[in-house]
Amino acid sequence: MFGHINGGTARNIITDNVKLGGTIRFLFPNEQINKPKVLEAFERIVKGICMAHQLDYKIKFIPSNPSLLNDSKMVEIVRNASAEVYGTRVNVEDFKSLAGEDFAEFSHKVPAVMTWIGIADENKKSDFPHHHACFDIDESMMKYGVELQVRSVLAYLKE
């Protein structure tokens, strides 16, 4: 996914240099084995395109966050805590996301679970997605997220 494409100085002048920047994200098991394969495949594609057009290229891969791992025991703790906070036990689906999260680093060292708290309210204009220019938080919902975290921690410490 390209986050930026930079090249040229004017719309009517052919540039001699283009710089692409972005991220490569995937949902493969055995990340340590498969990630190098994905990066090698990407470079083969770039090399083939550049050879076909007689272009030079340079690729710089910058290490990124690993995939986030939700611990099944921690998921269960949060589900049970959600019943106390929301009055009903939240049914968590096997949700997969390509979001890059620093929190993933923790999930590879200790049992962890990442939760998403719904704050979308069209009337309060808090229904825009993350990274959207109009994204805003419905602060009245923060107390539920805090309570869920506190109850989850207390339940974990009791075990």
Give me 13's structure tokens: 């002048």
- What gap in Å lies between CA 61 and CA 63, rounded to an integer? 6
- What gap in Å lies between CA 22 and CA 18, rounded to an integer? 13
Instruction: List the one residue out of 13, 152, 4 whose CA is nearest residue 85.
Output: 152
The share of the chain scoring above pLDDT 70, in percent, equals: 96
**In the chain, domain spans:** 2-52, 72-158
How much is the pLDDT for 78?
92
pLDDT in tens, 22-47: 888 877 778 888 889 999 999 999 99
- Residue 2 binned pLDDT confidence (cut-offs 50, 70, 90): confident
State CA 42 to chain mean position distance.
Answer: 20
Q: What is the pTM of this model?
A: 0.70
